[in-house]
Amino acid sequence: MKVLGLIGSPRKGSNTELLVDAILGGANKRGHSTSKVYLYSQGIGPCVDCRGCKKGDLQCIVEDGMQELYPQIEAAGAIVFGTPVYWLGPSGPMKIMIDRLRPYYGTDRLKGKKALIAAPAGDGPKEAELLVEMLKRTFTYLEMEFTGEVLGTGYERKDILKDTDAMLGAAVLGEAI
Ligand SMILES: Cc1cc2nc3c(=O)[nH]c(=O)nc-3n(C[C@H](O)[C@H](O)[C@H](O)COP(=O)(O)O)c2cc1C
């Protein structure tokens, strides 16, 4: 199975990426192929509610970096939504990307794909509660199969490495894909 990691942090060596890497490492161990996309560099603009995706072949007609991501999403059997907690929710680029999943709503094109969450927060897992709820309900709309989350505590870059429960949990989650 292909496992796609979406990185919604702007920082190099981010806590988000370290958690996603641990998940992907676990998935690799089980023989899955993995890849990553950095949402801050992908050039994805916001959904403009043009309703183009409700017509014809139900595809998004906005020509930007999302067009490169759609086939990767469709080819993946599992998708890791990695984002830092920003104001109790996802980072801007992660939310913008999620809005662009609108063409899949009401279709079965993402049905049954596994969805995982990796979300570090400065003040720890409790800060991620609303984010997890929002994503889980979004996965339900998209008929994706929520497969688990890994949350953790970290503020400075690489702080998450000190949260050994989170790092271990991420590896275990990846192996269970
Ligand atoms: C704009 C912004 C908003 C944030 N909001 C929260 C928050 O609501 N709760 C929290 O615990 N940490 C918050 N943080 C801290 C980040 O979650 C924390 O630094 C995290 O480790 C960043 O992840 P990264 O290393 O993957 O970028 C915020 C940070 C920024 C820059």
Arithmetic mean of pLDDT, 107-126:
98
Which of ligand 1's atoms lies nearest the C-alpha of 8? Answer: 26
pLDDT of residue 140: 98
| Pocket of ligand 1 contains residue 74 by CB under 6 Å | no
What whole-number distance in Å separates Cα of residue 163 and Cα of residue 106? 39
Which of ligand 1's atoms lies nearest the C-alpha of 159? Answer: 21
pLDDT at 28 over 90: yes
What whole-number distance in Å separates Cα of residue 122 and Cα of residue 91? 14
| Pocket of ligand 1 contains residue 141 by CB under 6 Å | no
Strand partners, 34: 3
Which of the four pLDDT bands, split at 50, 70 and 90, describes residue 150? Answer: very high
Which of the four pLDDT bands, split at 50, 70 and 90, describes residue 118? Answer: very high
pLDDT at 117 over 90: yes
Arithmetic mean of pLDDT, 16-24:
98
Q: In the structure encoding, which two tokens stand for residue 60, read together?
A: 């998004």
The number of beta carbons lying within 10 Å of the beta carbon of residue 48 is: 10
Helix (H, G, I), strand (E, B) or coil at 151: strand
- 34 Cα: distance to centroid of ligand 1 (angstroms): 26
pLDDT of residue 67: 98
pLDDT of residue 123: 98
Strand partners, 119: 151
Q: What percent of the chain has pLDDT over 90?
A: 99
| Pocket of ligand 1 contains residue 57 by CB under 6 Å | no
Which of 12, 155, 158 gets mutated to test ligand 1 (max ligand atoms within 8 A of its CB)?
155
pLDDT of residue 12: 86
| Pocket of ligand 1 contains residue 162 by CB under 6 Å | no
- Nearest residue CA, atom 7 of ligand 1? 87
Structural domains of the chain ordered from first start: 2-175 (3.40.50.360)
Looking at every residue in the chain, the average pLDDT score rounds to: 98
